Structure formats: C-alpha cells, structure tokens
Structure 1
Amino acid sequence: MQIKLNTDSHIEGNAKLKGYVDSLVESTLDRFAKRITRVEVHLTDQNSGEKSGTNDKRCVMEARLSGRQPFSVTASADSVDRALDGAISKLERKIASEIDRKDKPRGRTRIAPESPEDDETDDIL
C-alpha cells in the first residue's frame, strides 16, 4: 500500500508529519492492506496560515482498491490532527462498506432442488 501526502503552502509537510500520516494510515487500514493499492492524503488550511478559525483545517483522503474505482472522504476540524483522525475514521468505514457490498452476492441465492436421478446414483455406489 502506497501512501502519498500532499499539503498546501500553509501546512508544512515535513518528515514528522509524513511519519505520523504513514503510521496512522497503516495502523488503521492494516486489515485492508492487501486490497488497497494507494492512499492519497491532502491537507489544506482553508483560512491560510495567518488566520485561525474553527474547522479551517481540511483533510481529503482518496483510496484506490484493486480493480475498483477510487473514492474519497473529507473531514474538517480546528487542527490537522483532528482533521486526519476524522478522515481516517470515515475512510475505514467507507472501505469496509465497499468491500462488504462488492463481495456479497446481489439478490436471492437460488438453491436447485435435488433431482430424483441423483438419488438413484447414490444407491448404485
């Protein structure tokens, strides 16, 4: 699973932040690791670095599962940590529901009735 971090000019994408994001994504999505090819994390400061405000940090996470279309989730919070936590929780739920939805057969399962011919062959053997 590849993890890519993107930040805007108001959030410093240093090695410490990259390490934290990698650790968070890997530990949270570990059970899906074989199915995930890539996770992209985009962090932005909506109000720029000079202003502060509520819910001004935004995290968008995009996941790519093998053989499926990519999808994304978004979370906003007053800090980068909280925005990351909100987005990873949403992404974990989204991946679980996507996998469950795609792996389960749709509609009713038809069970074919036994034919009388099957009973006769059992008696011969």
Structure 2
Amino acid sequence: MKVQINTDNHVQHDESLTRHVESSVAAALDRFGDQITRIEVHIRDRNGGKAGSDDKHCMMEARLEGLPPMTASEHADSVAAAVSGAARKLQRVLDHALGKLAH
C-alpha cells in the first residue's frame, strides 16, 4: 500500500511527520492492505500561522481496486491528532463499505 502525503505551506513536512502518518495508516488500515492500492493524505493548517483550536485538518483518501475512492477527515489541535483521527475514521468507513460488499 503506497502512502502519499501532501501538506500546505503551514505544515512542516519532515521525517517525523512521514513516520507518524505511515504508522497511523499501518495501524488502522493494514488489514485492508491487499485491497488498497494507495492512500492519499492531505494535511493543512486552517488558520495558517495563527494559533487556534481544532485548526489542523487531515483528510485521507483510500484508493481501492475497482471501487470509488473512500475518504475520512478529522479536525484537531495538533497534526498528529488529526492524522490519527482520520486514520481511525477511514478504518470505520472501509469496514462498513467492504463489509457490505462481502454480504
């Protein structure tokens, strides 16, 4: 499963961010690994350089073979919390969608 990370100009895209995103995605979505071709992660700071609560936003999009993309997003006080929350939500979206296909 390929993970592609996109950030805006106000989020520092460094090695620690990459590690956190990849570990959050792996923890939440590894069991779907054979069905997911790519995960796109979009992270942005809604307030730019200014401080604020729930101003970090993460949207994850899972690309699955033969299905339309599935998405989940999370707003949080930190980038790490937004990424972790979006990964958990995407796990629930995939559980629901792929569970329906199995029945």
With the shorter chain as reference, the TM-score category is: over 0.9
Cα deviation 1:32-85 (Å, max 9, x = unaligned): 110111101000000002x11111000000001111000211110111111111
Cα deviation 1:77-124 (Å, max 9, x = unaligned): 1111111111011000000111011121xxxxxxxxxxxxxxxxxxxx
Match of 2:4 in 1: 4
Q: What's the TM-score, normalizing by structure 2?
A: 0.95
* 1:53 alignment partner, SS class: coil
Within 5 A, what are the aligned runs for 1:5-24? 5-24=5-24
Preserved contact between residue 72 and residue 90 of structure 2 (Cα < 8 Å): yes
1:21: Cα distance to partner? Answer: 0.7
Q: Read off the aligned partner of 2:102 and give its amino acid letter.
A: D
Q: Percent identity?
A: 43
**Higher-strand-fraction structure:** 2
* 2:87 alignment partner, SS class: helix
Preserved contact between residue 20 and residue 80 of structure 2 (Cα < 8 Å): no
CA RMSD of aligned residues (A): 0.8
* 2:97 alignment partner, SS class: helix
Q: What is the alpha-carbon distance in structure 1 between the residues aligned to residue 23 and residue 87 of structure 2?
A: 11
Aligned length: 103
Following TM superposition, the consecutive aligned residue runs of length 4 or more in structure 1 with deviations greater than 6 angstroms are none
Gaps of 5+ in 1: 105-125
Within 5 A, what are the aligned runs for 1:29-44? 29-44=29-44
- Structure of greater Rg: 1
Match of 1:91 in 2: 90
Q: What's the TM-score, normalizing by structure 1?
A: 0.79
Higher relative contact order (CA 8 A, sep 6+): 2
